[in-house]
Amino acid sequence: MQDFIKRYPGTAQTAPSVDSGFPWWLQLQHFLNMLFMMFIIRAGIQILADHPRLYWNRDCTPGTEWFRFQHPVPQGRIWTAKDDAVTLPSWLGIPGLRHTIGLARWWHFSIDLLWVLNGVAFYIMIFATDQWLRLVPVTWDVIPNALSTAIQYASLNFPTESSWTRYNGLQQLSYFVTVFIAAPVSITTGLLQSPAISNRLGLLGSVLNRQVARSVHFISFTWFVFFILAHGIMVFITGLRENTNHMFAGVKSPGWVGFPFFVLALVLVGLAWWAASPFTIRHARLVQKTGRIMVGWIKGLSEWWEPTAELSEADISPHFWPNGTMPNSAEYEHLVSCKFSDYRLRVGGMVESPHEFSLADLKAMRKQQQITTHFCIQGWSGVAEWGGVKMSDILDMVKPMPGARYTVFYSLAEGSDGGCYYDVHEIFNMRHRLSILAYEMNGEPLSVLHGAPLRLRCENELGFKMVKWISAIEFVSDFKDLGAGQGGYNEDHEFYGYRMPI
């Protein structure tokens, strides 16, 4: 062992040195990365808490998860996806209350954007200078040197540090994995959980389906948490003075010049950690609007990407999670009792030819069947075969006026806080080939639990946008006077976004 450590002291002797130290831009990006990751991790935990189960299979059947922090799904009662959400303490999640995924997603995606921009700038700067040599191994000696470093750390006989010019093998490998593997994997698997992206990628979206992407995303998350904890501990035990001088002052000095800046950085991150949840709860609408400004335009662009992915009967899920507040009115009970023979779908607003359709009228029109994946905002997914009328055919019949921009779907059900459930879509999104009004599910009439007599299927949007138990459709020029003016019931009450293809 002594001969091995002597031959491989920890730092590859053939690796080139870095002569530029730790420049100011690297110090700034290091701090920003530390700050951004705090928000990303906390918001990510909050998102996971809304469906606290992970699967390798697409259909999210209870009992098939490989990881969960929730009890098994109870038997003998309807257990919705919303019932399955768990509560987090406010110091851990953002904002920490139960089922606050709308606000958590704004934090997660908005800070993700800043993190990605910071990362792109970091990539450009390190490869424009000699800093890349610090992170990218250029000799296979890095592997035995990394093993030697691990052995020396474990024995508490630490290797000689020369991080001002070269990282040791273990540092270099761990930084390389974090910067060039874990970060791109996190970004890619995050995007693959999007219906607009996954339902456009064909075989890739099928193989790396949402649940596979979600599980890999979680694994990359655990790597970041492990790296941050290990990195923080090593800063203290391998030489706090030298390490803080390097990264927070950019100097190689025997003094403590970098330590005050290190303390200031910790205080700023600590204050942000402490303030994040109270600020979010107190200013929830501001968080929603800020998130919409930062990333809403990206969501809007992805709506134009028409979904094309269709699956086979073999892919149909044995379990399809129920969700939403069921209709509870005399009107709906009457419709159920008469098997929806008295049901009428009213289509009006800014149209040239208002229509009223019975269920029989809709079934007499051209029927489209499609087997597609449902993406719930909470994280679960499921595959079903849907049969119904193309929304483009409805549009052709009613002829929206030139000033109409939005399609509003009203439900026979109330939202969770009372009041009519509704949601808004851009008209162009209703012309996509897979946007339909479904009255069948898996070859059978749509069940009451899943939206009978009629529900929307719009395969580039998250599930809450696909209104169930539809009572009416209205075409409008603006939605600012509907509800709280945010574009839908969950947008009004739970701070979702009205454009949610990601």
Asked whether the beta carbons of 429 and 389 are under 8 A apart, the reply is no
Question: 377-413: b or e for each residue (b if 16 or more CB lie within 10 Å)?
Answer: bbbbbbbbbbbbbbbeebbeebebeeebbbbbbbbbb
Q: Give 85-129 as a 3 state SS string.
A: CCCCCCCCCCCCCCCCHHHHHHHHHHHHHHHHHHHHHHHHHHHHC
**Number of continuous H segments (helices) and E segments (strands) in the chain:** 17, 12
pLDDT on residue 162: 84
Cα 252 from chain centroid? 41
Is the distance from CB of 388 to CB of 437 less than 8 angstroms? Answer: yes
From the list 191, 467, 186, the residue with the least C-alpha distance to 305 is 191
pLDDT, residue 363, reads: 97
Q: What is the 3-state secondary structure (H, E, C) of 399-465?
A: CECCCCCEEEEEEEEECCCCCEEEEEEEHHHHHCCCCEEEEEECCEECCCCCCCCCEEECCCCCHHH
Query: Whole-angstrom Cα distance, residue 479 to residue 485?
Result: 6
DSSP 239: T
- Report the DSSP beta bridge partners of residue 53: 68
| Residue 11: per-residue pLDDT | 85
Per-residue pLDDT, 99: 93
Asked if 69 and 52 touch (Cβ cutoff 8 Å), the reply is yes
pLDDT of the residue at 137: 93
The set of long-range contacts for 278-283, using a CB threshold of 8 Å and a minimum separation of 24, is 278/90, 280/94, 280/95, 280/100, 280/103, 280/107, 281/90, 281/95, 281/97
Q: What is residue 159's DSSP assignment?
A: P
Alpha-carbon gap, residue 431 to 302, rounded angstroms: 15
Tell me the HSE value of 278 on the side-chain side, using a 13 A CA sphere: 5
Going residue by residue through the chain, which has 502 residues, state the pLDDT in tens, using 9 for 90 and above: 889 988 898 887 778 889 899 999 999 999 999 999 999 999 999 999 999 999 999 889 999 999 999 999 998 888 999 999 999 999 999 999 999 999 999 999 999 999 999 999 999 999 999 999 999 999 899 999 999 999 999 998 888 888 889 899 999 999 999 999 999 999 999 999 999 999 988 777 788 899 999 999 999 999 999 999 999 999 999 889 999 999 999 999 889 999 999 999 999 999 999 999 999 999 999 999 999 999 999 999 999 888 988 999 999 999 999 998 999 999 999 999 999 999 999 999 999 999 999 999 999 999 999 999 999 999 999 999 999 999 999 999 999 999 999 999 999 999 999 999 999 999 999 999 999 999 999 999 999 999 999 999 999 999 999 999 999 999 999 999 999 999 999 999 999 999 999 9
Closest CA to 250 of 14, 6, 18: 18
Residue matched to tokens 């799904």: 73
List, in order of start, the domains of the chain with CATH numbers: 313-493 (3.90.420.10)
Tokens (6 digits) for 158: 């630490």
Q: In this structure, what token pair is assigned to residue 251?
A: 């100097």
User: Which tokens hold the place of 344?
Assistant: 């009428």
Up-side HSE of residue 315: CA atoms within 13 Å toward CB?
18
Distance CA 181, CA 178 (A): 6
Contact (Cβ atoms closer than 8 angstroms) between residue 340 and residue 453: yes
Sign of the alpha-carbon torsion through 195, 200, 206, 208: negative
pTM flag (> 0.85): yes
Residue whose structure tokens are 């012309």: 431
Q: Are 103 and 285 in contact (CB under 8 A)?
A: no
Q: What is the identity of the amino acid at 402?
A: P
pLDDT at 336: 96
